[in-house]
Amino acid sequence: MTAPLTRKDFARRLRAGQTVWLAGAFDALSAKLAQEAGFEGVMSTGFGVSAAHLGAPDMELYTMTENLTVIERMTDAIDLPLVADADTGYGNALNVRRTVRLMERAGVAGLILEDQEAPKRCPAVAGQIDILPVMEAAGKIRAAVEARQDPDLIIIARTDALTHDEAIARAKTYVEAGADLIQPISRCFTDFASLQRLRQACGVPLSLQVLGWLETDLTPDQIEEVAGMATWPLVALMSAAQAMRANLAELARSHSSRNLPAPVMDMGAFKGFIGFSALEEMQRVYLPERQ
């Protein structure tokens, strides 16, 4: 098995445009499953964190410290680089400084900061997106860059601008402020040629969330041409939600688990995956039976 990427190697590859493929995760268990599957990195998805931990839409309803708690549990559970969805940074540039410091201490390898007004709205579902004045948003990126203790902590600037020209102008400004990667939203860029134009104009690799048309229209080779980081943000969440919905409905209907529509993991296999054996061995070492 290949050793997990260090933060330095992860940063080097992303900055060089040597694409690292990540799985989106929403808790420690989904992060562990992503590592077992063979991904080289994990991204905490704010959409998933809000859905899984609040049962609510991705509208920055959770606080920075609530998000940080989830991220700490994820970094503790895996050996892979974890990129945190840090939303708007939870306030202005001063709040961003604190967010970066705390998330870096939690062990993240990178953060995604967006230029929406707080509280943000998920562009996948929101009808209207309000974004900050460009220099205020750039100030937040500068604050993030200056707050990090390790220069290999990756700062990803996301822009929710809805026109190509504005998104490109903002991307250039954020790169000047120190952003390592630029993350566009798919509602603005809707074909490969426009992503190539953005990549060339901003001068740094892109961070792509593989959703919508990016899933259906682009090949892996095309994504790797422009992206330093490519993430499947919602497959784990939607897979889990669909399987639980189907199986719970069958349990409620039949009061039997004999004919569940979605397969379930064997209990022994799950115990092995989650680490029961290692903890039981620690119990034998540290908690011997009383004589």
pLDDT digits (tens, 9 = 90+) for 171-201: 999 999 999 999 998 778 999 999 999 999 9
Rounded CA gap, 206 and 214, in Å? 13
Contact between 237 and 43 (Cβ < 8 Å): no
Q: What angle do CA 27, 32, 35 make, to 5 degrees?
A: 130
Rounded CA gap, 151 and 224, in Å? 24
Contact between 210 and 186 (Cβ < 8 Å): no
pLDDT for 129: 79
Contact between 83 and 229 (Cβ < 8 Å): yes
pLDDT for 180: 98
The pLDDT tens digits of the residues spanning 39-71 come to 999 999 999 999 999 999 888 889 999 999 999
Proportion of the chain above pLDDT 70, given as a percent: 96
3-class DSSP state of 143? helix
Partners of 23 in the beta sheet?
42, 232
pLDDT for 291: 44
pLDDT for 242: 98
pTM of the model: 0.94
State the pLDDT confidence band at 290, using cuts at 50, 70 and 90. Answer: low
pLDDT for 3: 87
pLDDT for 124: 55
For the record, the structure tokens of 86 come out as 């840090």
pLDDT exceeds cutoff 60 at 249: yes
3-class DSSP state of 227? strand
| Count of Cβ atoms closer than 10 Å to residue 54 Cβ | 13
The pLDDT tens digits of the residues spanning 120-175 come to 666 555 556 789 999 999 999 999 999 999 999 999 999 999 899 999 999 999 99
Tell me if residue 191 is catalytic: no
Rounded CA gap, 114 and 258, in Å? 46
By CB neighbour count within 10 A (0-12 exposed, 13-18 middle, 19+ buried), where does 266 fall?
exposed
What ranges do the domains of the chain cover? 7-235, 241-286
Amino acid 207 reads: S
Proportion of the chain above pLDDT 90, given as a percent: 85
Length of the chain, in residues: 291
Q: Specify the CATH number of the domain 7-235.
A: 3.20.20.60
Distance from the Cα of residue 131 to its chain's centroid: 21
Amino acid 120 reads: K
pLDDT exceeds cutoff 60 at 228: yes
Catalytic residue of the set 58, 85, 115, 180: 58
Report strand pairing: 20-25 vs 227-232: parallel
Rounded alpha-carbon distances, angstroms, from residue 34 to 44, 57, 99, 126, 268: 11, 23, 25, 28, 20
